[in-house]
Chains A and B, each alone.
Chain A
């Protein structure tokens, strides 16, 4: 397939393809981080993760409409406000859900799967009733669309770079919170040994609630960012949920490093295969490879050694 093309053409395509892989990597990390916290750290299988993301997308849409009608001069920068609001909205909903539903099910992980799946259906219908069944179009400021012309032949999507930057920032923030802040130490203590953590005076209920809210809030930010590259509709969250679980499970449930490593390997495999094969075939081969690796290594790429 490369016979007819000049070296410079191929170089440009390779560079752009490299970026395509990196963008996919950031998208995967961003959507999986929230789940990695909830599933990895708390052991809750949150099937409603996609719906928390879409809440963020709807918040972005509402912010965009509100800013356009009330304060048009703010429009170029509204996205940052929208992301913060998305974090707050999804986090608050997460806190509510944890209090009303999840905390009763900590000892029954399989039931959380069913309960959160039900929750996802409820949320989808709620979005449909509130925002309408049709998709909404989120208008973006002009500077976020289009591409950056690196050379004559190389164009890099601006929204892709934006997602990359955002992913790096959020990843750093999550690592700081979990590994350096005292609250993060409490979270990790609860993960490793809930009873002992309680015995030394950690309020495990409160830790659970805030951990869940943090995971949901990050999902909200991810949803907000994905309005740049995807659709916003009542069921759009379903588009992300499979890939999200794939990344988290493949990485090893309790390891944030694993999530990142797995997002990297899946995205690179996927985007390289997509280039040489067709989209559907690339997906099939990626999934087959993951299944094969998980058969050999059921605990995922990185497993945290925890005394259960």
Chain B
């Protein structure tokens, strides 16, 4: 399934290159290394990675077949866009990025096998990939054994930190605490009903949410906590329970196809999201596409990026993404986080002046990306990102309207004390 620069991609790539060439006068004003000062390969690559005088190879490892293709398609698109843009702007240390894409096929052992292939056979200098925690856990030993570098885009439950991984999405406390504080303060919410799909991320996240509600918010309580098997399509009973307990906030971490069923049935049961506050951390613009904007309008989501963010970086990013992947594609939180991967890697390589994995791992803390669509991010010592947390309200057109954002960057804290 390996395809080295897919033929289908050539025309958008070429378009990107042309755009890049059009921008050359501007680019040449930047401090871009000219061909004369491209550092010698022997100096920047001492461990035998796939780096030549003109090219460097990275891997993309996502599911493009199987259940998870629904979610991971956006990440693949974002990573390819970032790579095309970096190449158009002169590449990394004067070298163009070539990518090898592998398909994890929504199967965790396949992820591990393909990760090994990318690191051992292809000698990839970095790998952008994985989506579910299960796939990340499957490849983690491979990356640690063969000393690779993984840029992982999804918001996730935390409780992990590795020299060989940069987590470009938020860990659970970053995503959860600010949102709960906000809903408590502005909506006066006192009672919470926690819902989730039955696997590690929703369970860990709800655990953090419950601790925060019970220990840190004055007079607040959890009136219900429930989990549903992945793929559940029937929510009428729990909706009745919600009607009975009348919580101030429904806190929902439901994923995949269940999401669609849940919001459609919620609306059909007469729960009006403009009156009943619902806060979710699992519905991005990608999911709304399947749910239908009219079914979820009025719900609040707490994450770090919305397609509608009004800042100069995002205003350049969204049109570029749509130009490459089609006018109708939407960009969710994880897609944006995936876009950060190649850029953070490029910036780190330039800071370290080397492609060596050890040097990149050491140079990562403190690397800042000012061109991030979400605004500004910086890598923390624990390899997660400092980022702002935002609350948006879903509109019928499938977009979020920004309601609140934290004043400062929120510190990533993958091992939160008192929350476990």
Contacts and interface: CB of A to CB of B under 8 A. Distances in A.
B243 interface: yes
A69 to B, nearest CB: 14
A132 to B, nearest CB: 8
Contacts of B291: 137, 231
B240 A275 contact: yes
B238 A230 contact: no
A93 to B, nearest CB: 21
Looking at B228, B240, B268, the one whose CB has the most chain A CB atoms below 10 A away is B268
A139 interface: yes
Interface in B292-329: 292-295
B134 interface: no
B244 interface: yes
A76 interface: no
B290 interface: yes
Contacts of A159: 264, 268
Interface string A179-205: 000000000000000000000000000
Given A145-B295, A147-B270, A238-B67, A279 B73 contact: no
A146 B267 contact: yes
B69 A234 contact: yes
A160 B236 contact: yes
A236 B233 CA distance: 10
Contacts of A233: 70, 257, 290
B244 A279 contact: no
B133 interface: no
Interface string A237-270: 0111000000000000000000000000000001
Nearest to A17: B240
B67 A157 contact: no
A231 B269 contact: no
Nearest to B291: A137
Contacts of B288: 137
Interface string B247-273: 000000000111111001101111000
**Interface range, A side:** 35 or more
A274 B238 CA distance: 7
A176 B240 CA distance: 36
Given A159-B268, A278-B227, A271 B237 contact: yes
Contacts of A209: none
Contact of B290 (A17, A134, A145, A160): A134
B96 to A, nearest CB: 28
Nearest to A2: B244
A27 B234 contact: yes
A16 B240 contact: yes
Contacts of A135: 70, 257, 260, 287, 289-290
Contact of B65 (A17, A19, A125, A147): A125
A271 B237 CA distance: 6
Given A13-B240, A13-B243, A145-B294, A235 B70 contact: yes
A280 interface: yes
A24 interface: yes
A284 to B, nearest CB: 9
A133 B64 contact: yes
A285 B233 CA distance: 18
A148 to B, nearest CB: 9
**Interface range, B side:** 35 or more
A279 B69 contact: no
A27 B233 CA distance: 10
B260 A231 contact: yes
A24 B236 contact: yes
A5 interface: yes
Contacts of A158: 268
A63 interface: no
Interface string A276-304: 00111011000000000000000000000
Contacts of A27: 233-234
Contacts of A16: 240, 243, 269
Contacts of A231: 233, 256-261, 290-291
Nearest to A159: B268
Interface string B102-120: 0000000000000000000
A97 interface: no
A270 B258 CA distance: 17
Interface string A210-237: 0000000000000000101111111110
A283 B229 contact: yes
Looking at A132, A159, A228, A274, the one whose CB has the most chain B CB atoms below 10 A away is A274
A84 interface: no
A20 interface: yes
A221 B314 CA distance: 43
Contacts of A271: 234, 236-237
Interface in B278-294: 286-294
Given A136-B289, A230-B233, A280 B198 contact: yes
Contacts of A133: 64, 69-70, 72-73
Interface of A: 5, 9, 13, 16-17, 19-20, 23-24, 27, 125, 128, 132-140, 145-147, 149, 155, 157-160, 226, 228-236, 238-240, 270-271, 274-275, 278-280, 282-283
Please name the 5 residue pairs, one residue from A and one from B, whose CB atoms are nearest each other, closest first.
Answer: A135-B290, A231-B260, A20-B236, A157-B268, A155-B270
30 contacts: A16-B269, A17-B237, A23-B236, A24-B236, A27-B233, A125-B65, A133-B73, A134-B286, A135-B257, A135-B289, A136-B289, A137-B288, A137-B293, A140-B292, A145-B268, A146-B270, A149-B270, A155-B269, A157-B236, A157-B265, A160-B236, A228-B268, A229-B261, A230-B264, A239-B232, A274-B238, A278-B225, A279-B227, A280-B228, A282-B237
Interface of B: 64-67, 69-70, 72-74, 198, 225-229, 231-234, 236-241, 243-244, 256-261, 264-265, 267-270, 286-295
